[in-house]
Structure 1
Amino acid sequence: MIRKLKTAVILALMSVSALPIAGQDLLARQAPIDRRMKAVDSVALHRLIQNEQLESPAADLYADWDNKYAHRATELPDSFRIDLRHFCMPTTSRVLTSNFGARWGRQHKGLDIKVYIGDTIRAAFSGKVRIVKYEARGYGKYVVIRHYNGLETIYGHMSKQLVEENQEVRAGDPIGLGGNTGRSTGSHLHFETRLCGVALNPTLMFDFVNQDVVSDFYMFRRDSYQSEGLAANKLRGVGAQEVDNDDSEDEELATTAPAAKVERTIRYHKVRRGETLGHIARKRNTTVNELCRLNHISKSTRLMPGQILKYN
């Protein structure tokens, strides 16, 4: 009797101890399935978010998608981190001819960059084209792009638009050609950066002279972006450069770009037909090696008329 009781107790204990093992086996078998389901869910969620972004970039900042207005100011966030990575300079020109801010008794809401008719203009960031229009007394032929990082960029006075409304573009895609359309006194690109319809000084983020962005990110703050924009003009605006041209456009640049005192003036030379690096070096009192170093070119680089070279 006692032996039977012992046997029953042992069997009971064995069955109880086996339960966690069976449970662990079940969990072990279930784990790969859970991981696969989680991966499927992640892919589906990523695709859903991606599709929503394509439909309306930066939808968390903008209530709607409106093709009627180039810009309409809405409520600004107190702060917002703008991702400047994966950018492309809208033009290879390093010459600014007019700053952001007060000009001729009114506010100039962007930068003017010297380009020539037919020069390629590119999307600064990836996004979706919101507007492609013509405005005779303003932007001329212009394009507005809403980007995934929250910014909207405006490209004005172009001779030709190469994109259509609601078209998805990637950073660096050609969107138009330089021109002199609309309210313009000479061929140039009018370039604006806006957040929630409010104009921000592009020099807060872009350094056209060095063809780069200022940082990987720009932290927008509603209570300080205006004063920061004034400081950026002094660091990277028209007053921080000097352009030496050899043709009639000297007067345009001289009158548009106000003089400013800076510790080190950057000077540029615009290549004329038939000029060589040796000719330019002698004219600007420098060397061919220095011209190559400053402009990241080689001695065998073919110079094109109108090309801008840094020489100091």
Structure 2
Amino acid sequence: MNIKSFKKIAVLAFSVFVAAPASAQDLLAKQAPVDRKMKAVDSMVLKRIIEQEEKYNPSADLYEDWNNVYAHRETVLPDSFRIDLRGFHMPTDSRVLTSNFGARWGRQHKGLDIKVYIGDTIRAAFSGKIRIVKYEPKGYGKYVVIRHHNGLETIYGHMSKHLVVENQEVKAGDPIGLGGNTGRSTGSHLHFETRLCGVALNPALLFDFRNQDVVGDFYMFRRSKYAAESAMATRLRGVGGVTAGDNDQDDELEIATAPRTSSNVHFHKVKKGDTLQAIARKHHTTIAKLCELNHIGKNIRLRPGQILKYN
């Protein structure tokens, strides 16, 4: 290679080396407006996401405030409202109902009682936010209230332990507590309420505990039809409802699909005048065994319709 050629290559290389920073600076200068545009786009996307969430979060329109004082306080109930039941999770895997929604002992029972044992896991029925975690000795006992995105609020009463705190976000199926017998309760069970604008709705309208499912993807609440639909739901899915292998007149129930054991589990449905001694004698067991199986004391006051496991 001659001297002239070498000089040309050196000059060319130097020119490229010197030009590189300038090109980079030009690129950065051009990038600045793009960054500003992207920030604007990000803001628009964020705004759109928020709008979509508000659109699919009816609770934002139904409730004016958020408080941790009242378990429920009735507000204006819409004439009709579509409740999205998709994405549900059964609050317990128990299929045994012990008390219906409605009139009971001269007062209104605002939820369903489901047989659970002390220590059984209780789960959030839908995604939402924990509004209340409290202990009420003369009522719900240890209970949790969740406000869900679909507009419902659910209440879980008589638990033995809380597993969540107030203002905590939960997903459907997340553990929120353990089954128990706290508060005004005569045996371990879950008191489960579904409320809309603070007004108690019959959970049997939405949930089918025996089949561990909801009644459909949506439930259309209509004030004009609610009473009739609630009564029908209790007949179909409440205690003594029309289900295979179940008869309201029977005092012995066989739950072949009970999740706690692979064999058939037998239950006794308490009738007026029943005592632990009489139940033990009828099923060839002992009072001590009944108490152990049901986590109850021997001096418990039995109530008609109560379900006791005896094997």
Say if 2:248 is the partner of 1:259.
Answer: yes
* TM-score, structure 1 normalization: 0.66
Q: Which residue of 2 is the match for residue 43 of structure 1?
A: 45
Say if 2:243 is the partner of 1:235.
Answer: no
Cα distance in structure 2, aligned partners of 1:128 and 1:203: 23
Contact 1:243–1:269, Cα closer than 8 Å, also in 2 = no
Q: What amino acid sits opposite 1:259 in the alignment?
A: D
Give secondary structure in 2 for the equivalent of 1:113. strand
Contact 2:241–2:248, Cα closer than 8 Å, also in 1 = no
Contact 1:130–1:145, Cα closer than 8 Å, also in 2 = yes
Cα distance in structure 1, aligned partners of 2:180 and 2:94: 14
Give secondary structure in 2 for the equivalent of 1:88. coil
Matched length: 231
Say if 2:255 is the partner of 1:268.
Answer: yes
Cα distance in structure 1, aligned partners of 2:247 and 2:198: 28
- CA spacing shift, 1:64–1:84, aligned 2, 3 Å: same
Cα distance in structure 2, aligned partners of 1:60 and 1:122: 26
Give secondary structure in 2 for the equivalent of 1:138. coil
Q: Which runs of 5+ in 2 are unaligned?
A: 1-36, 267-292, 295-311
**Cα distance per residue 1:14-38 (max 9 Å; x no partner):** xxxxxxxxxxxxxxxxxxxxx9899
Q: Which residue of 2 is the match for residue 176 of structure 1?
A: 177
* 1:132-151 → structure 2 map (5 Å cutoff): 132-151=133-152
Measured after TM superposition, the shift of residue 39 of structure 1 is 6.3
- CA spacing shift, 1:226–1:260, aligned 2, 3 Å: farther
Measured after TM superposition, the shift of residue 224 of structure 1 is 1.5
Contact 2:159–2:182, Cα closer than 8 Å, also in 1 = yes
* 1:19-98 → structure 2 map (5 Å cutoff): 40=42, 43-49=45-51, 58-98=59-99
Cα distance in structure 2, aligned partners of 1:258 and 1:107: 24
Cα distance in structure 2, aligned partners of 1:260 and 1:39: 66
Contact 1:84–1:218, Cα closer than 8 Å, also in 2 = yes
Give secondary structure in 1 for the equivalent of 2:60. coil
Give secondary structure in 2 for the equivalent of 1:60. helix
Q: Which residue of 2 is the match for residue 12 of structure 1?
A: none
- CA spacing shift, 1:148–1:43, aligned 2, 3 Å: same
- CA spacing shift, 1:133–1:258, aligned 2, 3 Å: farther
Measured after TM superposition, the shift of residue 193 of structure 1 is 0.1
RMSD after superposition:
3.6
Cα distance in structure 1, aligned partners of 2:262 and 2:207: 31
Cα distance in structure 2, aligned partners of 1:122 and 1:225: 27
Cα distance in structure 2, aligned partners of 1:243 and 1:160: 34
Contact 1:84–1:215, Cα closer than 8 Å, also in 2 = yes
Q: Which residue of 2 is the match for residue 185 of structure 1?
A: 186
Q: Which residue of 2 is the match for residue 201 of structure 1?
A: 202
**Cα distance per residue 1:134-184 (max 9 Å; x no partner):** 000100000000000000000000000100000000000000000000000
Contact 2:236–2:243, Cα closer than 8 Å, also in 1 = no
Cα distance in structure 1, aligned partners of 2:151 and 2:262: 44
Cα distance in structure 2, aligned partners of 1:177 and 1:143: 11
Give secondary structure in 1 for the equivalent of 2:173. coil
Q: Which residue of 2 is the match for residue 211 of structure 1?
A: 212
Contact 1:94–1:208, Cα closer than 8 Å, also in 2 = yes
Measured after TM superposition, the shift of residue 258 of structure 1 is 9.8
Cα distance in structure 1, aligned partners of 2:102 and 2:156: 17
* TM-score, structure 2 normalization: 0.66
Measured after TM superposition, the shift of residue 226 of structure 1 is 2.0
Q: What amino acid sits opposite 2:199 in the alignment?
A: V
Q: What amino acid sits opposite 2:50 in the alignment?
A: L
